[in-house]
Amino acid sequence: MSLLENHYTQEHSIFRESIRRFFDKEVTPYVEEWEKAGIVPRELWEKFGAQGFLCPWLPEEYGGVEADFLYSLIGIEEAASTHCAGFVFPLHSDIIVPYIYAYGNEEQKKRWLPGCVTGEYITAVAMTEPGTGSDLAAIRTTAVKDGKNYVINGQKTFISNGINGNLVIVAAKTDSEADSPYAGMSLFVVEGDTPGFERGRNLEKIGLHSQDTAEMSFVDCVIPEENLLGQEGKGFYYLMEKLQQERLVSAMMSQIFAEEALRLTIEYTKSREAFGRPISRFQYISFELAKMATDVELGRTFMESLIIDHMAGKELVKKASMAKYWIAEMLNDVAGKCVQFHGGYGYMEEYPIARLFRDAKVQTIYAGTSEIMLLIISRYLGL
């Protein structure tokens, strides 16, 4: 029995059916087209928002319905069947927009949040730079105060929603002389049409072909002081405070992808025959599928326990890091074996398992690499 079974209501079931119908009609038929184009259309975001699927957790005064975190899980679960990893609405709804809600003042919330719900605004977060990777303390982008404005200069890379995004949270140094490199960082909201803000090319990636990922540059980009998010110098701490949910969402996505990969492979091995019988009847394959099913079940149980604790407001930095690390690595192990059991067909683009396989790898890289997760866990162990 699912640990979440008693937490679901009739409203959750209605939401699931509604979002499933949307994906069946508006996403699944167009996935191949978007994969080749390297981007999903902006219109999809607007259609999705018009149905109330973006940021449903927000209070009604900002356009939401104050839904609980289970709605986020349902959205990710139902999206898995589309085999489209390029429509990264969880990044927008559950990772980036919470920064504005948590640290924005009332004027900023009223200014931006309703558009985040409707899809008018598509958000991105610009942290990573060409030479920094996971080392946020080493960022070189600066924001210098000039009267009632800030002038931003610097470069960012690997930014998801980098082409479609028109509301970008940018991490920049505001005090290069601060005692700690973490103390001099601030967050700013840069709107897409701001002079001096330029997008680079849509980066070509191994996987996530329909997810627009871009470089960004800020050249004497002037924004009003009202676009400072929260307090100056608190940016690093804001990022750290929100990483728990980011890593939990990442773990949720890895878990759902692993479940879908296993489902596809069980289905395939039961129908594919060799030497006069389904290949699922060969002991090696059946045992390996049993092992994978066990790992997937363990991942689901761990994930659901964390969702329950997260909804209760508990601090889960260590466990969220464990989940992000273990489930992402488990996904890659499962996806690799699933491709193998598809044989030559597993290497063909027309088979969904091939896309799941190449899309899986990045789960061990973004939102903190597996190595960074291990570092965090080791520190919580007092090592």
246 is annotated as an active-site residue: yes
Residue range 122-134: mean pLDDT, rounded: 88
SS3 at position 107: helix
Q: Are 191 and 233 in contact (CB under 8 A)?
A: no
User: How far, in Å, are 56, 115, 247, 283 from residue 368 at the CA level?
Assistant: 26, 28, 8, 38
Distance CA 45, CA 36 (A): 19
For the chain, list the domains and their CATH numbers: 5-121 (1.10.540.10), 124-233 (2.40.110.10), 237-380 (1.20.140.10)
Say whether pLDDT at 179 is over 90.
no
Give the pLDDT of residue 328: 98
Residue-wise pLDDT for 26-63, tens only, equals 999 999 999 999 999 999 999 999 999 999 999 999 99
Task: State the average pLDDT for the chain.
Answer: 95
Does an H or E element contain 341, and which? helix 317-341
Of 77, 129, 246, 288, which residue is the catalytic one? Answer: 246
Task: Using pLDDT thresholds of 50, 70 and 90, give the confidence band for residue 177.
Answer: confident
Give the pLDDT of residue 182: 76
Bridge partners of 171, per DSSP, are 187
Distance CA 328, CA 10 (A): 31
Tokens of 365: 């890289």
Give the pLDDT of residue 382: 96
Residue-wise pLDDT for 87-103, tens only, equals 999 999 999 999 999 99
Lowest mean pLDDT among 7-21, 174-188, 215-229, 361-375: 174-188
Pairing of strands 123-126, 185-191: unpaired
Number of H helices, E strands in the chain: 12, 10
Cα Rg for the chain, rounded, in angstroms? 21
Give the pLDDT of residue 131: 79
Q: For 182, phi and psi rounded to 5 degrees?
A: -80, -25
* Nearest residue to 152 (alpha-carbon basis) of 198, 211, 204: 198
Pairing of strands 213-224, 197-202: antiparallel
Q: Write out the E strands in 270-355.
A: 273-274, 277-278
Q: For 11, phi and psi rounded to 5 degrees?
A: -65, -35
* Nearest residue to 123 (alpha-carbon basis) of 135, 134, 133, 115: 115
